[in-house]
Amino acid sequence: MHLWYENWLLWLIVAVVICVLVAVVVAMIRLRVTAARRHTLGTLRNIADRLLRDVVLPDGVGGHVGVDVLLLRDNQLYLLLLRHADGAIFAGDKMDQWSVVGRRRFVFHNPLHALQDRAIALRALVPEFSIMPQVLFTGRGHFPKGCPAKVALFEEFAGPLRRKKKPKVMLDAKLEAAWTRLREAAGVPADKEVPAVKSPSAEVPAA
């Protein structure tokens, strides 16, 4: 007589059920993480006339700097550094270290220093554009002690720029040439540029 715990078929079924449950949990976590990224990208596409993401640009002194987002809107070029934070954000222009206090506390370097370096490199590369440097925080963050200049929550930045219908925007020859120079400096072929349009899977509600 076989005991229940000696039944290999039972253990096989248990193993399969556990594997399925683990796969479902992992998939749900991954969807939750990527949903925020898809929402951010969908919003950027909605508000941008032209858009480049995750690019590396020459810094003008023989090196390179990484940029999260270059967003052209109404002939203004927004240089965006994106940071994620859930909780209270403690930040200041002259503070070397900023911190976020939520479920856990973490400290990071003041991103305004990196923002300034990238703004200088960008102005040297495309002086034709008016450069608008900005650090944006995605997630559910807030600033209990005040928000420094050139820093904002992503939703507060994007809200006034959202559009119900995406217009087709044409640049004049001078700015078109400057954008092409920027795109080529970033090593992004014309057919690889992020389409600045909404996709059906990334709908953004109008403000």
Q: Is 58 exposed, middle or buried (0-12, 13-18, 19+ CB in 10 A)?
A: middle
Q: What is the mean pLDDT of residues 179-192?
A: 90
Per-residue pLDDT tens digits for 122-181: 999 999 999 999 999 999 999 999 999 999 999 999 999 999 887 788 889 999 999 999
Q: What is the pLDDT of residue 4?
A: 52
Q: What is the pLDDT of residue 31?
A: 65
Helices 111-125 & 173-185 angle (0-180, nearest 10)? 120
Residue 81 C-beta-side C-alpha neighbours within 13 Å: 18
Q: Report the alpha-carbon angle 169-118-186, nearest 5.
A: 55
- Give the start-to-end residue ranges of the domains of the chain: 7-193
The per-residue pLDDT of the chain, averaged, comes to 85
0.75 exceeded by the pTM? Answer: yes
Per-residue pLDDT tens digits for 77-129: 999 999 999 999 999 999 999 999 988 899 999 999 999 999 999 999 999 99
Sign for the pseudo-dihedral over CA of 45, 48, 50, 53: negative
The tokens describing 127, both together, are: 């002086």
- Cα separation, 48 vs 196, in Å, equals 6
Torsion of CA 175, 157, 185, 180, to 10 degrees: -30
